[in-house]
């Protein structure tokens, strides 16, 4: 009988040692809303892990921010057309990957978009369409081909004065990837980094079920039209709130860096990818390319899937995706 009690006690110890709780925290980082979720043995330990993730995200922001005067990115922009700037390996590689995505998307994604003049306003103050010549001038300094990388010296040079780079369409995803990698290194078995729609997940919920994401119906923000399991990264971008109408044509807030004109025809894009950085960049790219060429291009990326919703509510997906449509 003592042996039975002893075995039962051991089973209780093992069970309790494996108990896990979900801990999350909402906060403002990188100028947007973040929600960090971790699976941990206790709430207290989970909060410590979240603090580690916040520190890492703030470190990334200090590196890539174009509005912080001390960042490497600001130093690059301030030396456009003047001289190359030596940067850290981390920033050099991020810029290198960004240029690679630009090439793969025919310039639909371009970190030199930051050079554009802000002639479009989506706050209700814009009353007439900008003139064609003004739009053309606005993108005169945009073009990823003007970013020169020197692998040997590890320098970045913006060839033309007035050029700027910015990571608004990739930075949150990169920060989510970095925070996830840090937490995995620290032994966190599962979690979610949600950077205002840029989500990166790993592991499973404590009950063993996968994390799932609800795809918002852009025609009714209070409803979801699909619920999908996620194992890596998913990014959803929407154009259903920031837009202007001229001559019955809808002009949304995501601008084509090649032309200076806003993207048209799409309300929402959701991209699933191995990394949030890639999903972030590709979601913007689909908006700029348009639904048919965008979906076609996403079908050519290994491990990438996409859902796009047109302005008339039609749903388009890449070939391998299956929707669990909600009524």
Say what the pLDDT of residue 4 is: 38
pTM over 0.75: yes
Which CATH number describes the domain made up of 72-158? 1.10.3980.10
Say what the pLDDT of residue 219 is: 67
Helix (H/G/I), strand (E/B), else coil: 316: strand
Query: 244-274, pLDDT tens digit by residue?
Result: 888 888 888 899 999 999 998 899 999 999 9
| Per-state percent for the chain, helix, strand, coil, to nearest 5 | 35, 30, 40
**Segments of the chain with pLDDT less than 70:** 1-18, 219-223, 225, 323-327
Say what the pLDDT of residue 252 is: 85
Give the CA angle between residues 98, 99, 100 to the nearest 5°.
Answer: 90
Instruction: Round to whole Å and give the CA distance between 307 and 317.
Output: 4
Between the alpha carbon of residue 34 and those of residues 25, 37, 196, 201, the distances in Å are 8, 10, 6, 14
- Token couple for 20: 């896990």
Say what the pLDDT of residue 240 is: 73
Say what the pLDDT of residue 324 is: 56
- Token couple for 258: 């090649």
């Amino acid at each position: 009988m003592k042996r039975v009690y002893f075995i039962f006690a051991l089973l209780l110890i093992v069970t309790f040692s494996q108990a896990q709780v979900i801990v999350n925290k909402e906060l403002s980082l990188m100028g947007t809303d973040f929600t960090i979720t971790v699976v941990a043995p206790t709430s207290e330990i989970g909060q410590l892990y979240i603090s580690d993730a916040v520190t890492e995200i703030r470190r990334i922001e200090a590196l890539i921010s174009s509005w912080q005067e001390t960042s490497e990115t600001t130093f690059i922009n301030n030396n456009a057309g003047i001289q190359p700037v030596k940067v850290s390996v981390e920033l050099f590689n991020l810029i290198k990957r960004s240029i690679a995505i630009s090439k793969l998307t025919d310039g639909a994604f371009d970190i030199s978009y930051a050079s554009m003049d802000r002639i479009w306003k989506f706050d209700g103050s814009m009353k007439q369409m900008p003139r064609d010549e003004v739009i053309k001038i606005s993108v005169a300094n945009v073009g990823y081909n003007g970013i020169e990388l020197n692998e040997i010296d590890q320098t970045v040079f913006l060839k033309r004065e007035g050029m700027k780079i910015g990571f608004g369409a990739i930075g949150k995803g990169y920060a989510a990837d970095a925070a996830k990698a840090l937490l995995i290194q620290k032994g966190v078995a599962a979690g979610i980094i949600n950077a205002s729609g840029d989500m990166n997940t790993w592991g499973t919920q404590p009950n063993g079920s996968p994390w799932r994401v609800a795809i918002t119906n852009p025609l009714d923000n209070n409803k979801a039209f699909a619920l999908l399991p996620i194992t890596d990264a998913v990014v959803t971008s929407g154009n259903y709130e920031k837009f202007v109408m001229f001559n019955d044509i809808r002009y949304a807030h995501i601008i084509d860096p090649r032309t200076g004109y806003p993207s048209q025809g799409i309300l929402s894009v959701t991209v699933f990818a191995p990394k949030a950085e890639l999903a972030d960049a590709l979601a913007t790219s689909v908006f700029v390319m348009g639904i048919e060429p965008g979906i076609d291009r996403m079908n050519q990326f290994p491990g990438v899937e996409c859902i796009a919703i047109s302005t008339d509510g039609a749903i388009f997906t890449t070939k391998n995706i299956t929707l669990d449509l909600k009524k």
